[in-house]
A and B are shown apart, each in its own frame.
Chain A
Amino acid sequence: MLYILILVISGIAQFLGPWWLMPIVCFGLCFWKAKNAKEAYGIAFAAVSTLWLGYSLFQSVSSGGAFPLKVAEIFKLPNAASLFAAVTLVGGLVAGFAGLAGHYCRLALKP
């Protein structure tokens, strides 16, 4: 459930606004829903990395797929896969820590 909520709500927020709405949504939803620290971190990480990976794959496929390779070359990355890995990691890390912070803040405020 938390997974779906993060996916959908952060998706809408990022579609309309800047990228940093994503950690705010993760923080809020994990504050509200996460049962423990592991879940907060893990689900937020998983949800956002699925979202980022999925959407970037979609973008890349619908435009023919050559462009990510060119960008990867500029950053001296060996292939497009490493670019997708970076996307997963950047999105996931930020989401995971934001989720964790949400959960811990709730524990701190309401025992």
Chain B
Amino acid sequence: MKYIRALLSLLVAGGLTYIFSRPLGPAPALGPFFSPFTGFWQNAESPDKQPPADIKLQGLKGEVTVKYDDNGVPHIFADNDEDLYFAQGFIIARDRLWQMDFYSRVAAGRLSEVMGPLALDFDRYNRRLQLPEGAERLAESFTHEPTSKLIVESYSAGVNAYIQQVSYKDLAIEYKILGYTPEAWSPLKTALVEMVMRKDMNARSDDYRMANALAKFGKETMNDLFPDYPVEESPIVPSGTKWDFTPLAVPKVPELMKASIAANLDLEAENPGIGSNNWAVHGSRTASGLPLLANDPHLGLSLPSIWYQMQLVSPTVNVYGVCVPGWPGIGIGFNKDIAWGMTNVGSDVFDLFQIQFKDNTFKEYKYGNDWRPVTSRVSEFKVKGSPEIIRDTVLYTHHGPILYSQGQKPFFSDLPVGHALTWVGPVAAGNSVKALYLINHGKNYDDYRKILPYLAAPGFNVVFASNQNDVAITSAGHFPLKWKEQGKYSLDGANPEHEWKAWIPVEQTPYVKNPARGFVSSANQFPADPSYPYYLGWKFAPAERGIRINERLGNMTKATPDSLRLLQNDNFNVEARRILPELLKYLEKDPSAKALPAYGVLAKWNLRNDPNEIAPTIFERFVKELRLAIWEDEFPTQDEKAPMSQPTRDRTWAMLQKQPNAKWFDNVKTTDKVETAADIITTTFKATIDSLTVKYGPYNPQTWVWGTAKGTDIKHLVPLFKSFSRMDIINGGGANIVNATTEAGHGPSWRMVVQLDKTWPKAYGLYPGGQSGNPGSPHYDNMVEKWAKGELNELVFLKSKDEQHPRIKSTVKLQR
């Protein structure tokens, strides 16, 4: 009896300990998680927590000094480059390891391993986009070149030095909640992080929706409604700039496909939220006589933030700026002599090819006059909580993988029709690590241009300024050499003339140096006007931000860093300036519309999307609904069989201004009446007020005010972790405002202003988050308030290890 009792009690005690040591379904391991010695309590950091003074690390060659400033920014001083990038990896892993790991899992299509079946479709999609294959190519190009090889390998060793010494107690809270531990870092994982960026910037397409519209309306209407260059535009390279190169011959436009075959492709449409601003002002327009440079890349805002600030110093370099966790070097920043910044180019580098299969076995597809074999690859997914491995078979043509609709069954039962994908992501290699190394070390304009062969994808508008008083901008990247409108619509996979054959020479991508107007700028608009000899795409980001930036820079003399900061926060609504007077003219004639208080608000508006204005709440909604009211009847965006693109806002407003009697105003769904522009505008205005009333209650300046009506959300990378997010931040701006903050959570993810100087530059910047990735740290989101107000921090750019700076709060020595 007593033995049984002893055994039973042992079993219960041991069993409990065992069960509490393991994750329970979606719940974390209760024992270590709740224990105050190791659990989440340990992630709560007190505001005056100090890092350790010394850290012993194997793999270092010498001693590295890391000085942390009051904002948690590390300033790293190493005796050689290996140690520098080793320390960069180690230091960033201390603050952001989980985030880096997360990005690499996204691109590897391995999120469901740690998050469960919820992430499986996302994983499948990312694998079908060939993000893992692309990363392998990139990693190969990193390790093929001696400089980038040294960087990615040292960086990986630094990250791994942290992983080896971190105990459960110090692991990120996300690891503890989700119940997994970090994997070793590698150059491949750095490449995976870059693939996430390529996907975010380039993996979007309107081709299929455009093809549906083409099939219904024909080429003439498409040319009219979807022109290849906007009516109002202010291109990055000023119109009239002479191209000082001899262009390659552009391929002739081949025969287009006659009809589009139905296929339900659920791709992400063009995302207007992915945009950015940058500009550099020549010394002729600044107070100091030397250039100023500003950049605010707009990305999906997240916590932890996409950016991390660092200063990297070795005998070869002293550079400050932001980097993406997992990606060594400094991405956007400055050194003693130069400053640079980036915005997305957004050219068309993602094309779909219709594939004609020989028969229902899908073993061969047509190409030219031949039938080519289809190959297939099986992808395996381990899913958390599921004992079996899930397999996904993907068919490949030489164009690339064949994408099917979501919810595709492993064996095709209905129409055997798919589209193959060719996009820049897995195709272009380049060497971003080498590119960053070169620009981090750059001293002048020639050094800046040296990065071009290495910057492949995503394509960036790289703005540049130097203390030799040069300013320049280049739409850099590897862009396919296309015939005009190649890829505007789905392409014919059977026609060899339809595929990508060559690249635009990197030195012939659009660029301009020291233009007469005294500044360069970009806001994702057309890189160049139609005089540029190559076709880059038919649609870029709407022109409004670019127009406003160029107007204001054109009026600036004696510019200071603060003039540039104010421009970053400019809330002027260029679209309203263009179209609101026209709209008011129509509304004025309708007594019931004019009687609405909203009419008065719009009529008296100062055209600024300031947070305390009410008019932007009405205007933004009104123009959105108006565009739908005009186009949705003929060009349905949500149609299940044939969803279509709609003409741009630029084309729509041009029609309203110049062709008020166009047939497109008529709602074809009402057969008893022919609507005019006036009818559509007044009914939509009233409908807009109704929908705003539903959303915010009857008209009330308190609840309709733009700052609260818009709100900006900054969500944690795992949206389920709501309490780690910052929701409804009040600020001004809007999607096509220079201050491009959106409701959907896009916006300036880093704002930087640099004043170049002969001796030592001065710089300002911040991002909506904090240096620490730990939601329990005071440095997790400490910059959000200042960001919302449009303020900037002065950045601490140390001259040397020995400089005494009042804002340096602690020093850590990394030693062998």
Contact = CB atoms under 8 A, between A and B. Distances in A.
A73 B20 contact: no
Interface in B241-261: none
A63 B34 contact: no
Contacts of B27: 75
Contacts of B37: 14-15, 19, 55
Interface in B512-554: none
A52 B35 contact: yes
Contacts of A18: 32, 38, 168
B41 A97 contact: no
B555 interface: no
Contacts of B35: 14, 19, 22, 52, 87, 90-91
Interface in B464-509: none
A62 B41 CA distance: 11
Given A23-B17, A55-B36, A108 B6 contact: yes
Q: Which of A15, A94, A100 has the most CB of B within 10 A?
A: A94
B44 A104 contact: no
B177 interface: yes
A20 interface: yes
A107 B27 CA distance: 37
Main secondary structure on A side of the interface with B? helix
B671 interface: no
A59 B10 contact: no
Contact of B31 (A20, A64, A73, A104): A20
Interface in B748-803: 775-776, 778
Contacts of B168: 18
A100 B11 CA distance: 11
Nearest to A44: B13
A32 interface: no
B724 A70 contact: yes
Contacts of B142: none
B4 to A, nearest CB: 9
B43 interface: yes
A91 B34 contact: yes
- Shortest beta-carbon contacts, A-B, top 4: A63-B44, A108-B6, A56-B36, A73-B723
20 contacts: A19-B21, A19-B32, A19-B35, A20-B17, A52-B36, A59-B36, A60-B41, A63-B44, A64-B47, A67-B775, A71-B723, A75-B27, A87-B35, A90-B34, A91-B34, A91-B35, A94-B13, A94-B16, A101-B12, A104-B5
A69 interface: yes
B45 interface: yes
Interface string A65-88: 001111101110000000000110
Interface residues of B, number: 42
A74 B2 CA distance: 44
A27 interface: yes
Nearest to A58: B36
Interface string B23-49: 000010011101111111111111100
Nearest to B43: A67
B703 interface: no
A90 B31 contact: yes
A93 interface: yes
Nearest to A108: B6
Nearest to B31: A19
Interface in B29-71: 30-32, 34-47
A98 interface: yes
A105 B36 CA distance: 29
Contact of A74 (B5, B13, B34, B721): B721
Nearest to A13: B37
Contacts of A93: 16
Nearest to A54: B36
Given A56-B36, A70-B775, A94 B47 contact: no
Given A73-B722, A74-B723, A97 B12 contact: yes
A108 B10 CA distance: 12
A71 B17 CA distance: 23
A104 B10 CA distance: 9
Given A98-B13, A105-B6, A20 B21 contact: yes
